[in-house]
Amino acid sequence: MTTDDRTSKSGVARRAAGSFRPYTFQVIGIILLILVTAGLGVVNPYLTRNVFDDALFPQGIDGQPDIQLLWVLAGIMAAVTVVSGALGILQTWATNIVGQRVMRDLRDRLYTHLQGLSLGFFTGARTGEIQSRIANDVGGIQNVVTNTMSSVLSNIVIFVSTLIAMTLISWQLTVVCVATIPFFFLLSLIVGKKRRKVTSEAQESAAEVTAITHETLSISGIMLAKLFGRQNQEIERFHNENERMATLAIRRQMTGQSFFTLMQIFFSLAPVVIYVLAGYMLTGSFSVGITAGTIVAFTTLQFRLFWPISTLIETSVELQSSLALFERIFGYLDITPDIEDRPNARRVSPGDVRGHVEFDSVRLSYNPDHGDQTAENGARRWALNDINFDIAPGQLAAFVGPSGAGKSTISYLIPRLYDPTSGAIRIDGTDVRDIRQESLAGIVGYVTQESYLFHDTLKNNLLYAMPDATMEEIEIAAKAAFIHDRIMELPDGYDTVVGERGYRLSGGERQRLSIARVILHDPRILILDEATSALDTTSERHVQAALEPLMRDRTTIAIAHRLSTIMSADVIYVVDEGRIVEYGTHAQLLETCGLYASLYQEQFDGGRVESRCEDGIVMVDGNILTHDDILTAPAAD
């Protein structure tokens, strides 16, 4: 199926119907129930004719009723009604089970698919919009998948069986009944098209309301609004979008309402037409077969015919509206994951990994289609350009440079949060794309500047790294991260709920808890992305102490703005504008008087450091410093 076919109206409908394929046998069972129920539905109108013509008035209006036959016919009609009702309940139960499972499958597919998308998708999407697709859009099709599909089939069967029964009773009256039906179906297509457009706009507005709510009612959003005094503006923004959503919902409900009213009026007046027409037939030459019982039976069947027609027309409008929701759901499902396991990707045990990390001519463009174009200043539009380095197992390698230089982006490539546009990243000589992502997650541990904690207990937040860890293992990890004693001071200890994003803990405590989580994870390669830059001096010391056992015997990649945290690194790579411009030890980089020396000059001794690169010397307050002096120079907090 081509892209055009997949996004066309018929293509979306076929894909929606395909959601029922796993439940083929259940659907067949429902169809059989519908056929039986529809067949029973025409029995009573036929029996009604017998009740009038054979039981109540066997010899005309003056004849004596046949009470015995009347009881038989009444008993059969009662039994048919009870059996039809029971089968209707069974049919409703079966259709709801299938419908809810289809919705469950769609939610699962959507969530699973989103989990497989790269970080790039989420940096460009709003969380509220994603939540709306899973909750509002899938929820919006509930009526379609639980009731409408079976309703369509049921009403078609009822319509056909009733039409046959009416034709057998009087084909002349039947022709009159069905003559106007095509006109109403044509109008339903026009109304449905309008409803589909309004539904799409309404869902977009609902997604916007969800996004605004998520952004402004989170802890971070509330704090920001209060700190900047923006509550009234946020209330106004929510009010405007909420008003738009309500207006669209009204339009959605009212679109075609006059059409449905006209249709109901016509169907209600139809029996009157039959009575008049039957009167003329009885007084004319077409009175053959027309009796009182025939007229009663026919008008009963007429109602049974118009009721499914009315339902089918309204359903067709609803189905067209629901296609807009299916389009939004399939729109996400059709996003191709740009990071997937290769067919021959293999599992790797963390115990078999030494931790040798190599970047070979790596380039990355966030927009590969424009990677070869040049910007106005002539620079390549690469987030990373020709990155090469080799980190030996157990080494501490640091990456420093100005903000936006590409330091964090380099670290994102190792656990495959992104894939390079060209070049290769290898671990122990194996391209990371040849390692299964689940194995890669077990090899690489990541500590970020802002640690994310779930609104759950401390214990469960730690178990996220190792679900089968024992309490003893949890406590060992917490002690290694210097957070155990603080946890035991809390009223509920490890069962303390940390609150949304861990806001009940201080920044240093959250960071140490995340370090304990990584210790429990026990990776061979550790990435520290500005792990202490947001902390005060005391918290930084605690976190640095927690990091020491974590870094021991592991390959560690540290990204830092504070040079005091990485001066003892085995190798320091200086990144600027997506390139590695220099590398070496701390002393070697100071000696070159390049970008690193400039960064060092800005951070240390409160500006007292003066670098004379043209002479190859470094001076403080006019005094020449040796490299030993530089290494022991105090940092300006």
Structure tokens at 62: 């003056």
Q: Is there a single domain that holds both residue 544 and residue 630?
A: no
Q: Is there a single domain that holds both residue 454 and residue 573?
A: yes
Q: How confident is the model at residue 341 (pLDDT cuts 50, 70, 90)?
A: confident
Residue 218 lies in a domain: no
Q: Find the range with the poorest average confidence among 54-58, 101-105, 362-366, 594-598.
A: 54-58
Q: Is there a single domain that holds both residue 417 and residue 551?
A: yes
Q: Is there a single domain that holds both residue 359 and residue 304?
A: no
**Strand locations in 49-185, DSSP E?**
none
Residue 177 lies in a domain: yes
Per-residue model confidence as pLDDT tens digits over 286-302 = 555 566 667 777 777 77
Q: Is there a single domain that holds both residue 310 and residue 443?
A: no
Q: Is there a single domain that holds both residue 57 and residue 136?
A: yes
Q: Is there a single domain that holds both residue 549 and residue 507?
A: yes
Residue 390 has pLDDT above 90, yes or no: yes
Q: Is 321 buried (19+), middle (13-18) or exposed (0-12) by CB count in 10 A?
A: buried
Residue 231 lies in a domain: no
Q: Is there a single domain that holds both residue 487 and residue 471?
A: yes
Question: What is the total count of domains within the chain?
Answer: 3
Residue whose C-alpha is closest to residue 292's, from 53, 56, 65, 70: 53
Separation in Å, CA 602 to CA 128, 313, 401, 598, 635: 41, 74, 12, 6, 10
Calpha distance 340→335 (Å, rounded): 13
Q: Is there a single domain that holds both residue 449 and residue 561?
A: yes
Residue 376 lies in a domain: no
Mean pLDDT of the chain: 76
Per-residue model confidence as pLDDT tens digits over 131-155 = 777 777 777 677 677 766 667 777 7
Q: Is there a single domain that holds both residue 531 and residue 620?
A: no
Q: Is there a single domain that holds both residue 573 and residue 627?
A: no
Q: Is there a single domain that holds both residue 624 and residue 536?
A: no
Calpha distance 636→605 (Å, rounded): 5
pTM greater than the 0.85 cutoff: no
Q: How confident is the model at residue 605 (pLDDT cuts 50, 70, 90)?
A: low
Q: In which residue are the tokens 């009963």 written?
A: 300
* Cβ neighbours around 52 below 10 Å, total: 18
For residue 514, the domain's CATH number is: 3.40.50.300
Q: What are the DSSP calls for 467-480, one per residue?
A: TT--HHHHHHHHHH
Residue 235 lies in a domain: no
For residue 328, the domain's CATH number is: 1.20.1560.10
Sign of dihedral through CA atoms 533, 534, 537, 539? negative
Residue 279 has pLDDT above 90, yes or no: no
- What residues make up the domain containing 592? 586-637
Q: In which residue are the tokens 């129920």 written?
A: 37
Calpha distance 566→431 (Å, rounded): 28
Q: Among the ranges 135-149, 495-509, 538-552, which has the highest mean pLDDT value?
A: 495-509
Distant-in-sequence, close-in-space partners of 438: CB < 8 Å, separation ≥ 6: 347
